[in-house]
Structure 1
């Protein structure tokens, strides 16, 4: 395992991705803060990490663009010397009953969630150093079957399939591949468009009777990406407070 670990985190300018980036930095990893378009927010994450004594740099990339993703990894190698951890937190969510889902929305969502995850995972498989870790983000709605989440759950089901296959394809490389599947988590992406009654109802679903926080999810990712998670491989961890 590399002495100084370097992490690439996509979707790191806000929400769960931001919490993951700051959590990995707090654990001593140098972090490439990947973002799609919000440069100001990404630079705020970098400033937060560096102010706390960590190392970070922001880099823009559309995760579905293989050239942009290759450049993202190049930034990590050029700035910090290599890549040990890859977390793909970039994602898109469009909610609608299957019968009413606009196919342009479906295509955009699948471009980011399926193709984007595949492109990032492919680059990780090509570049990660021994002792590395890949963590992909799924969702607990793959197993919960909430109405309105058909297109989104389908895209994340593909992520889980990729996770299990890639873990086995990297046999002999000393690289772990896992997915984390959050339940309802209090992010802007989740809260957008929901009224208070809906949010309260979802918060009561887990036995712990609250929504998850980005920090809850980041802690699981940091475990899988750190020394304590080395014996966890080819798994989907449903971080959802016990919601069923």
Structure 2
């Protein structure tokens, strides 16, 4: 197998569909073995298709189902990849949950769920990656461009993604001696099934109007950036890269 990632192995959390699915197959196309994580049984068919597409590039690929808000499941995720591949070089976390709701209407259960999925799972994913990755490894977490927005409705989404920037900076410093880079990618509102249930048609159109070309971010805009960070972009570390067509900036 040839390619910039030949001989490497990658874990892609939430790697079965949408952005995660494209990252899985993109890294496989460059020669990386891939473990495709998914959470829900409703996603199993898509996980199967992504695994088969990855194998079509001549690499090893397998699926793994687990709720990553449970730290022991994150440990098992990495242990499984090590057992199958022998080593892990790349860990990409695309896990996330979106909620648009006013603060005064948000329940404790919704708050807890958002922070478990967007912050807790990300923290323990970084922890296991720091323990298990080979020297010179690469870690990328998908966050959101709402981290740089001044808007309503997304308190628990942006709020639960914001700790990941602090986790990432700490991890970048702590893992630097082993040559492991740790970064975030912050897409703008993405043209995926996760976006539209949270917005009215008018608001969706407004979001699109704020970026170049009057369109939402596409998964094809983001996957190449992730691929760069895990290959030639390894000197970048501790950063959050906003990839949103000018939707917002700090």
> Considering the TM-score relative to the shorter chain, is it more than 0.5?
yes
Instruction: Please list, as runs of the form range in 1=range in 2, the aligned pairs for 1:197-208 lying within 5 A after superposition.
Output: 197-208=202-213
Question: Given the alignment of the two structures, is residue 10 of structure 1 paired with residue 5 of structure 2, yes or no?
Answer: no
| TM superposition shift of 1:193 | 4.2
Question: Given the alignment of the two structures, is residue 236 of structure 1 paired with residue 250 of structure 2, yes or no?
Answer: no
Question: Given the alignment of the two structures, is residue 212 of structure 1 paired with residue 212 of structure 2, yes or no?
Answer: no
- Is the 1:167–1:177 Cα contact (8 Å) retained in structure 2? yes
Question: Given the alignment of the two structures, is residue 20 of structure 1 paired with residue 23 of structure 2, yes or no?
Answer: yes
Partner residue of 1:109?
114
| TM superposition shift of 1:34 | 0.5
| TM superposition shift of 1:24 | 1.2
Gaps of 5+ in 1: none
- Is the 1:2–1:130 Cα contact (8 Å) retained in structure 2? no
Q: 1:224 to 1:97 in 2, by over 3 A?
A: same
Instruction: Please list, as runs of the form range in 1=range in 2, the aligned pairs for 1:27-66 lying within 5 A after superposition.
Output: 27-37=30-40, 38-66=43-71
- Is the 2:190–2:219 Cα contact (8 Å) retained in structure 1? yes
Q: 1:12 to 1:56 in 2, by over 3 A?
A: same
- Normalising by structure 1, we get a TM-score of 0.95
| TM superposition shift of 1:160 | 1.0
- Is the 2:100–2:198 Cα contact (8 Å) retained in structure 1? no
Q: 1:3 to 1:48 in 2, by over 3 A?
A: closer
- Is the 1:181–1:238 Cα contact (8 Å) retained in structure 2? yes
C-alpha root-mean-square deviation of aligned residues, in Å? 1.6
Partner residue of 1:130?
135
Q: Secondary structure at the match of 1:57?
A: strand
Match of 1:90 among 79, 92, 95: 95
- Is the 2:5–2:27 Cα contact (8 Å) retained in structure 1? no
Instruction: Please list, as runs of the form range in 1=range in 2, the aligned pairs for 1:167-186 lying within 5 A after superposition.
Output: 167-186=172-191
Q: How many residues in Structure 1 have an aligned counterpart in Structure 2?
A: 243
